[in-house]
Amino acid sequence: MRRLIFPLLLTLWLAAPPRPAAAQSRIQETFNLVNQVRAEQGLPPFQWNAALARAAQWQANYIAANNLYSHTGENGTRPQDRANAVGYQGYVVENYVAGWQLTPQQGVTWWVNSPVHYNTLISTRYDEAGLGYAVGNDQHWYVLVVGRRSDQPVAPPTSNQPIADPAAVVVPITLSQPNEDGAIVHEVQEGQTLWAIAARYEVRLETLLLYNNLTQDSLIQPGDELLIRLGQGQEPPPTPTPPLTHVVRAGETAWTIAARYRLSLSDFFWYNGLDEDDFLQPGDVVTVRLAPGQTPPPTPTPQTTYTVQSGDTLLGIALRFGLSLADLLGYNNLTTDRILQPGDVLQLVAPVSPTPMPQPPTFTPAPAATPTSGTAVAQTTPTLVPTVTNTPTSLADTAVPPSPSPESTDTGQLVSRGAFLAAALLAGLAGAGIFLLRRETA
């Protein structure tokens, strides 16, 4: 019985998946590091999305099991396919990285060192994300999917060409031990790249290039020695002056060039007088930095309208021009179920309401006095009195009139009192006359 139970337990133990707690810990650490990169750039953190996490885990499991470095997944699926399949309605972008004994910090450092992947980390077009992690073929695999919700389902790309990303792998690299002075020097081995070496030692690519007087275009050969960490008392070389221009190479886009030089896409367009519809050709020289004292080009006039092209969606247009979907709908008096047609013209700014003309004051005649019986009323021209709108005021601004004192009694009050006394005297005399008349009669 013991001989049967032990092999069974061993088989179950070997077939068991990685401990969920350990995997969850790596996922949480990687997600926190990604948001730390965003915080360094003054950006809000990605919000965790469970659906995007399922899509990321699906791809992580597949590429780890098949030792496949690609964004193309099971049955030829693409990142947008997988997001749609798990019920996420919105646009997505995917990063992945894999490597021998790759830690979360090393994986995120690799993404930071790669301009295209770094641009995903600092993108302002997406606001939520999910992560997947798997172990397979002696490597640790990390997949990050970022997204932004849409008002309608997003169609995946129509091309069936596989999306490969062979650079997103960190080959096995043995860490060198520090020298007596604390300096670390690495000897390059076959297949190793500057990005992979920087990620393995958890240093920024810019630092590695600075210490070794290299550029991102520099080629390294097996046997080359790279300074990874300065020794005690060793001063770093002066920071080289960054270039002002860049020569476009095959496969590069405005997006990848801007990410490489840590530029926002809007600044890159501004420096070069371009917009999103312009195409770059290999050999074009573009500006990536202004020289000291150089006058920047005039700020381009913001685009106020957009003509709908085939395949455009309301959310896609809103994202393209940095608008919220609610604003775009409000500017154009549209609803989310509106179907766009090529040639439609949409407003990209709030409509300007005409300034209302001031209205002249209205006048009403003063009410005529009601005539007293037996009294002639003089005919006078009605006085026009402007209608005054009462404006609320605070108690502190309202003057309270003082109560009249006996010494300040006006003439009207004296006349009224005299008339009252005269009437009383006449009434008394009349009463006395009646009394005397009755007495004489009696």
Segment 13-56, tens digit of pLDDT: 333 344 457 788 999 999 999 999 999 888 899 999 999 999 99
pLDDT tens for each residue of 305-359:
889 988 788 887 887 777 888 889 999 999 888 888 989 999 998 887 666 666 6
- The span from the CA of 36 to the CA of 59, in Å, is 24
What are the phi and psi torsion angles at 131 (to 5°)? Answer: -130, 145
Beta bridge partners of 305: 347
pLDDT level of residue 436 (50, 70, 90 thresholds): very low
Range 238-250 average pLDDT: 82
- The span from the CA of 303 to the CA of 309, in Å, is 16
Cβ neighbours of residue 271 closer than 8 Å, sequence gap 6 or more: 263, 286, 287, 288, 290, 296, 297
pLDDT level of residue 420 (50, 70, 90 thresholds): low
Q: Strands 47-48 and 128-136: what pairing?
A: parallel
Beta bridge partners of 146: 93, 129
Range 217-227 average pLDDT: 88
- The span from the CA of 104 to the CA of 324, in Å, is 33
Of 44, 43, 51, nearest in space to 129 by CA: 51
